[in-house]
Amino acid sequence: MNTRTPLIAGNWKMYKTNAEAVETAGRLVELVAGTSDVDIMITPVFTAIDPVCTVVKGSRVGLGAQNLYWEKEGAYTGEISADMLVSAGCQYVIIGHSERRQYFGETDETVNKKIGAAITANLIPVFCIGETEAERESGNTFSVLDKQVKDGLKEKVVEDIGSLVIAYEPVWAIGTGKTATSDQAQETHKYIRSLIDGVFGTALADSVRILYGGSVKPANVAELMAMPDIDGALVGGASLDAESFSRIVKF
């Protein structure tokens, strides 16, 4: 039986000034106040983390960041460490999002270092993996995911990654309006769980939460969440509006 608590995560990407972020977060807190049995996370831009933390404190809404750097401190202009995120009130951090891989040179190796830094600081890593449209069409989905999972978690031990969340986001479905069918998504989630089982054992495979990301909306979330290996959603565009995001939370 699946006893994993669903996680509905909102990735706000590069949207919202501090005032806009505070307004959206405040409205979301009101809308999800009666919700139980589901974890909720939002990830504002770095500059809005502190004011949003004040708004969500003591509520159902958890706070995350969209990225971090793997060193604790140093001469790394423009970067932010795990400890800095914790001190600003974060519980989660997104690592290896496809946009970071596509535009900012993120690799499986840097993802691995970032996951290590998050774990050391007691942040919950939301580890993103996924294939492009070309990779799916050439039948390479599983081999791509196999490499991303094994390289991203290389030299990690079960005890360290107990809190890990994996987010499967088919790159071809992000912001495109295309969504994997619920059966396609389930097949891939089941494969990812079997990968974790093979590398880390059944206990972690049974407990790790695997989220689906890629044009999740109020209209399609219930069908996705009905699948046995889908434990939540990493939501982009639809998370920017408190009303639509709260409807996804209440799937």
Q: Which residues are catalytic?
A: 97, 169
How far apart, in whole angstroms, are the C-alpha atoms of residue 144 and residue 119?
Answer: 24
Torsional class of 220: left (φ above 0), alpha (ψ -120 to 50), beta (otherwise) = alpha
Strands 61-65 and 92-95: parallel
Beta strands in 98-198 (DSSP E): 124-129, 165-168
CA distances for 84 relative to 68, 69, 117, 170, angstroms? 9, 10, 12, 30
With contact defined as beta carbons under 8 Å apart, do 42 and 63 qualify?
Answer: yes
